[in-house]
Chain A
Amino acid sequence: MTLSSFILKNALRNRRRLALSISSVAASLFLLITLQIALRELTNPISDEGSTLRIIVRNKVSLGQPLPARQRQVLEKIPGVAAVSPFTFYGGLYKGDEKFTSFAQFAVDPLRTRELLADARIPQEQYEAWVASQTSCILGRMTAERYGLKVGDRVQFTGQIYPCDLDLTIAGIYQGTADDRNLMFHQKYLDELLGNPGTVGTWWVRAASIAEAPLVTERINRAFANSSAEVRAESERAFVLGFVSMWANIKTLIGGISVVVVFALLLVTVSTMSMAIRERFRELAILKALGFRRRELFAFILAESFGLALAGALLGAGGAWVVFHQLDIQKLTNGLFVMFEVTPRMMGLAFSVAALLGVLAALGPMLTVVRTSVVEGLKTLD
């Protein structure tokens, strides 16, 4: 027997309690990680160079109000504007989906998308095929993979916002953007289906440089001030953040729940450890009599407490890591979350919390060891 096998035997003496305690630590840490992921997904809008360069121009009245197509010529002449494309959210139901389609379909000008989606990678011939055929579309890799779609496949949508259905052929699959999910098709096709109403949903503008982007936004707003269709231009990032700000309260809520989870976890480990040590009160006195010093007894307690917390962390955080790598969270949450990514920081957080618990739960029993003499310990009944 070694000291470590002695510690292990002690820890394993009440297996059911140990299993329950480890499970509750694991479950709580799993929950903590899940909350952290949700928080991150909800509050971290995608931010890359492209999203800072891109400007979304929408109707000042509301996002739902269309903008006149003739604004395009004005926009293109504004200094600092590199490219302009319609950007109309079609919002249809994909044939096969029941209530909700988790990827967006946008009507755009294919000739401008190269500049607007500079980070998108698509084979040249696929791009050219898309430009050439008005009833074709390109699709993000994530969606293509999810639905098992490939170039040449036909995709059909039922209009939910617009009174027309789409029947498109996939000309290409793109990837490399921050969110490879969207479908892009010709604005002209939509216009024709709708009988050329002369409107677009929003404008998608690319500024010539990041430095100029805020100025361009200003200029656009000013250009249409006092016109029949006043606009609100904002960076794509700000546009997304506008949605995200709705989640601000949720952030507080999730933060609060996380604190409660950690606190509950603390109570579980502290009570487990103090139970485990209290029932061995007399044995600790015997060990002392046999010549074990305080520091050795401290080490036993710490090792047991740490072991419990660490086993829980391995199970809970490791479990979260495995589960969220396997799970198709996009499908599960109807597209609310693109992916549930367990970051190293979250794993770090879970293990730090566990380590802290290990120490805190050991403090009480350690104090007991200091306080009780051999004689007092011997007097307690088993």
Chain B
Amino acid sequence: MDIPEPIVTVRNLSKIYAQGEIQVTALNQISLTIAAGEFLTLMGPSGSGKSTLLHIIAGVDRPTSGECLVQGVDVTQLNESELADWRNQNVGFVFQTFNLIPVLTAFENVELPLLLTRLGSAQRRRQVEAVLDLVGLSDRMHHLPRQLSGGQEQRVAIARALVTDPKLVVADEPTGNLDSRSAQEVLGLLQSLSRPAGKTVIMVTHDPKAAAFGSRSIHLEKGELTR
């Protein structure tokens, strides 16, 4: 039996918000490894630090202490612009409120991260069309976000997260704003990314049914892992 390489290694990670006299410990000495190809779900009550952990792993927030290695790179040590490049190449984001740019079509929204690469427009087009096909929206390419349903918007967002072919896809309550059928579609899609497509997916969710799509589930409570 082969033990998969860890793609994420978190060691003694803490995040403390100081608000005057009061200190809020969002994460308390968290240690965790995530294997490549896993579909990890992060669960826990509101305010338990799920989003905070996800943000630090994805390189958009910084911990107060501890380290967070992703593919051997300690993202807590990168400077602002190195981190931006790193995110562009290694992380795909999916948010609860889809966060598409309203004035851009589905195609253009998906193309956006590629504008930061050296790819030519023909190559970009191929990649965008491929991921839109993957999420089943080839026929909606030139629609604006407001012309799409919530489920379709979230699938466009997933396509945008995938278009740079990142190793890591992070999703913060991606089904929180969707009806159950669209949620099923999105979850199925995320699931299909992990094992078969070799991506590592980390998803925050409140919903045990959503968590069932993952390959492993961890629970946070008051900034600590409980199981």
Contacts and interface: CB of A to CB of B under 8 A. Distances in A.
| B and A form one assembly | yes
Interface of A: 1-3, 6, 9-10, 12-13, 282-283, 286-296, 373-375, 378, 382
Given A288-B84, A289-B87, A294-B80, A6 B115 contact: yes
B104 A6 contact: yes
Contact of A290 (B80, B88, B107, B121): B88
A289 B102 contact: no
Nearest to A377: B60
Interface in B81-119: 81, 84-89, 93, 95, 97, 99, 101-104, 107-108, 111-113, 115-116
Given A291-B85, A293-B81, A374-B61, 19 more contacts: A1-B111, A6-B108, A6-B112, A9-B108, A13-B102, A282-B99, A283-B99, A288-B60, A289-B58, A289-B60, A289-B87, A290-B93, A291-B88, A291-B113, A293-B80, A293-B84, A374-B60, A378-B95, A378-B99
For the complex of A and B, the 9 pairs showing the least CB-CB separation, nearest first, are A291-B88, A374-B60, A293-B84, A13-B103, A1-B108, A290-B113, A291-B87, A9-B103, A286-B99
A287 B113 CA distance: 8
A2 B125 CA distance: 12
A296 to B, nearest CB: 8
B49 to A, nearest CB: 13
| Chain A interface, >50% SS class | helix
A286 to B, nearest CB: 5
Contact of B60 (A9, A293, A373): A373
10 contacts: A13-B102, A286-B95, A287-B112, A289-B87, A290-B112, A290-B113, A290-B116, A291-B85, A375-B61, A382-B97
Contacts of A296: 116
A51 B80 CA distance: 67
Contacts of B97: 382
Contacts, number: 72
A29 to B, nearest CB: 28
A7 to B, nearest CB: 11
Given A1-B115, A13-B102, A289 B61 contact: no
A9 B109 CA distance: 12
Contacts of A10: 103
Given A9-B103, A13-B102, A375-B60, A290 B111 contact: no
Contacts of A287: 112
B87 A290 contact: yes
Contacts of A290: 87-88, 93, 112-113, 116, 160
Contacts of B160: 290
Contacts of A12: 103
A289 B89 CA distance: 11
Contacts of A9: 103-104, 108
A167 B110 CA distance: 83
Contacts of A13: 102-103
Interface string B114-140: 011000010000000000000000000
Contacts of A283: 99, 101
Contacts of A374: 55, 60-61
A291 B84 contact: yes
Contacts of A373: 60-61
A292 B88 CA distance: 8
Contacts of B95: 286, 378
A373 B113 CA distance: 18
A378 B54 CA distance: 13
A289 B104 CA distance: 17
Looking at A9, A12, A289, which has the most chain B CB atoms within 10 Å of its CB? Answer: A289
A144 B180 CA distance: 86
Contacts of A378: 95, 99
B15 to A, nearest CB: 11
Contacts of B121: 2
B91 to A, nearest CB: 8
B82 to A, nearest CB: 10
